[in-house]
Amino acid sequence: MRDVSDRIQHLRDDFTKFELTEETAGLQPFALFETWMHQALDAEVNEPQAMGLSTVSASGRVSSRMVYLRLAQNHCFGFYGNYQSLKGQHIKAQNRAALLFFWPELQRQIRIEGLITQMAPSDSAAYFKERPRSSQLGAWASPQSAVIKNRSELDHLLEEVNERFKNQAVPCPEFWGGWILTADYYEFWQGRPSRLHDRIIFERSAEQWLRQRIAP
């Protein structure tokens, strides 16, 4: 098989679609986030709500995975999952994390950092109630991040859960719910020609946001 490095080392793209100026960035990072998200939705970017979530274990081991953004309000970014999963264990040990949105169709990315807290159980339950029944059952069936023998074991767990909640509503598990990352740092990246990309950051300072341009 051909070495993968031979296939990727010469891949190139010319970033010419948009620019990011201080004027268009404005002074409020969440407003810019909303503008860019609306533009991604209007452009029918593939799964614009998908974001990389990076967390750190108690021993300092970094882990990243893709999750779906389900709430975005006033610098608060919400997502859901299993509290007993690897990400749940990391967040419990170290509640600082980072998010990454990458929209290649628009040649843009957004990095967001902040502190994470758990949602109120009532908010998690309200969202869980709106999920498809298959997703609700999956949340009960999967011991997320735990080692299992094979796929058949997972299928068997799902069968047991199906039987348990037959002909009744599926309640929200106590081990499942939402988190909120409250942003204190943003970086907006817009691809530009010659790899001289636009990068504008916002850092929280007391009750204000400090906006700066950084070199690509």
> Which residues are identified as catalytic?
195
Nearest-angstrom CA–CA distance, 158 and 152 = 10
Q: Angle formed by the axes of helices 133-141 and 151-164, to 10°?
A: 120
Give the residues across from 77 on adjacent strands: 72, 181
Angle at 164 between CA 158 and CA 169, to 5 degrees: 100
Are residues 202 and 209 in contact, defined by beta-carbon separation less than 8 angstroms? yes
Residue length, the chain?
216
